[in-house]
Amino acid sequence: MTVELLRVEGVTKSFGHIEALTNVSLTINEGEIVGLVGSNGAGKTTLLRLLAGVYTPTDGAVVLSDGSKVEDARHRLGVVPESTGLYSRLTAWENIRYHSRLYGTSDEESWNRTVFFADRLDMKESLGRHTKGFSRGMRQKTALLRALAHAPDILLLDEPTAGLDVTSARTVRSLVHQLGETGGTVVYSTHQLAEAEAVCSRIIIIHNGEVRADGTPAGLLEQTETSNLEEAYVSLTTDKARTRVVSDKPLSKIAKWWQKLSTPKIPGGDESE
């Protein structure tokens, strides 16, 4: 039986006169690995921020299965932005524990879940290390552990393998596979079609703020009468892609937090806050 966890109801999101998303409706069901695929500026990150409760819709609503608005129930979500935003003076475990305590999760529960997933990410021996010297892959793994430690209903990943080496990227994808096999629910944003096809059981193609297609990889090929996902994507996005939408309005504290996490750091810079 399909169990619905989250629903997007006719959502439009505007920044001034610019409409970033237009009348988007979709559901996220328990046990799905859902890929959000689109070019830069398509609206993927805006949609993820709406799903995470960072943005509120201009029109429409994003609600959880019990009818509560997602911005009032962020504890049910685990979020991994493109940039990790770790506190470099803390160890990996201290970063994870601090985050879990904000959600009211006990240290014992957080530690047990962290160790469970750290084993699968080959991170257990590094939990006591300060994150300042971590590679990009190690920071990304720590961010994943941080997002999973409070047992969220849905994991939201924004370009989780961007900038990672081959081995680290494969490890992240393997964990997502394992989460799916054990009934976990993941929304996986990427602009890599091959990655979406390899990881996701369902793919949502977003272009110029609209959902152009939503279905299984095989279903998208049948819908577009094409032989591979690249051809399917091209056939659904023939109109020119717009430039990336940027808000000109003052940001809320939560939006500023996401923006900070989503902004690449200068090489050699300090990631501490």
Q: Which helix (H) or strand (E) holds 203?
A: strand 202-207
Q: What is the pLDDT of residue 264?
A: 46
Q: What is the pTM of this model?
A: 0.84
Neighbours of 140 (CB within 10 A): 27
pLDDT profile of the chain (273 residues), mean per 10? 90 93 95 92 91 93 89 88 87 96 95 95 94 91 95 92 86 90 92 89 94 94 93 91 58 61 46 41
For residue 215, the model assigns a pLDDT of 95
Dihedral over alpha carbons 135, 157, 86, 162 (to 10 degrees):
30
Map out the domains of the chain with their CATH numbers. Answer: 30-53+74-262 (3.40.50.300)
Contact 245/46 with Cβ under 8 angstroms?
yes
3-state secondary structure (DSSP) of residue 99: helix
pLDDT number for residue 222: 94
- The span from the CA of 153 to the CA of 63, in Å, is 13
- Specify the pLDDT at position 97: 97
pLDDT at 234: 93
Amino acid 255: pLDDT: 63
Closest CA to 157 of 21, 48, 19, 246: 48
What confidence score (pLDDT) does residue 257 get?
Answer: 62
Take residue 230 and report the two structure tokens written for it.
């690249």
DSSP code for 248: -
Structure tokens at 112: 């047990």
pLDDT of residue 21: 95
Burial of 90 (C-beta count, 10 Å sphere; 0-12/13-18/19+): middle
- Write down the pLDDT at residue 244: 61
Could you tell me the two tokens for 233? 């994507």
* pLDDT (0 to 100) of residue 89: 93
The residues, ordered by sequence, that sit 6+ positions from 267 with a Cβ below 8 Å of its Cβ are none
Residue 269 is predicted with a pLDDT of 44
CB burial of 209-234 (b: ≥16 within 10 Å; e: otherwise) equals bbbbbbeebeebbeebebeebeebbe
pLDDT reported for residue 243? 65
- Range 105-111, long-range pairs (CB < 8 A, 24+ positions): 105/149, 105/150, 105/151, 109/151, 110/149, 110/150
Amino acid identity at 124: K
